[in-house]
Amino acid sequence: MLELVWRSHAPVGAYEILEALRKYGAAAAPPTVYRALDFLMEQGLVHRIESRNAFAGCPQPEQHHVAQYLLCEGCGDAVEIEVGGLARRIANRAAEIGFIVAAQTVEARGLCRRCQQTAPA
């Protein structure tokens, strides 16, 4: 039922998911949707984009990983990148000061190539 999130690699807000489900005639209550999203995140099919309170499908769900995101402020696009070893380095550094990382999201904001071309100089 939540195919719509992981099919679309553009970020989708939880509210939009509810709306879309309603269109299909599914009477989905918010807790149901959040539970389903939690499940998809545990499976690594979906990542949460914290700053937008949105969710995006993962293009490489086979391999469990922590995603980094490039978020375009022009068109709202979100591109998932994986910077090798970054998540582990953050976790290791945190451990050095006695901090246990439960979840981490690295988000970089800026302009995508397309928006740079259309933006006024």
Name which position in 10, 26, 75, 95 contacts Zn ion (CB under 5 A): 75
- In angstroms, what is the minimal distance from the CB of 80 to Zn ion? 5
Query: Alpha-carbon distance 91 to 51, whole Å?
Result: 20
Strand 68-72 relative to strand 78-81: parallel, antiparallel, unpaired? antiparallel
- In angstroms, what is the minimal distance from the CB of 84 to Zn ion? 13
Sign of the CA dihedral with 22 first, then 25, 29, and 31 last: negative
- Determine if 58 is a binding residue for Zn ion (CB under 5 A): yes
Nearer to Zn ion, 36 or 111 (CB): 111
- Determine if 115 is a binding residue for Zn ion (CB under 5 A): yes
- In angstroms, what is the minimal distance from the CB of 42 to Zn ion? 13
The two structure tokens encoding residue 75: 């068109």
What stretch of H or E contains 72?
A: strand 68-72
Summarize as ranges the residues that interact with Zn ion (CB under 5 A): 58, 67, 72, 74-75, 77, 112, 115
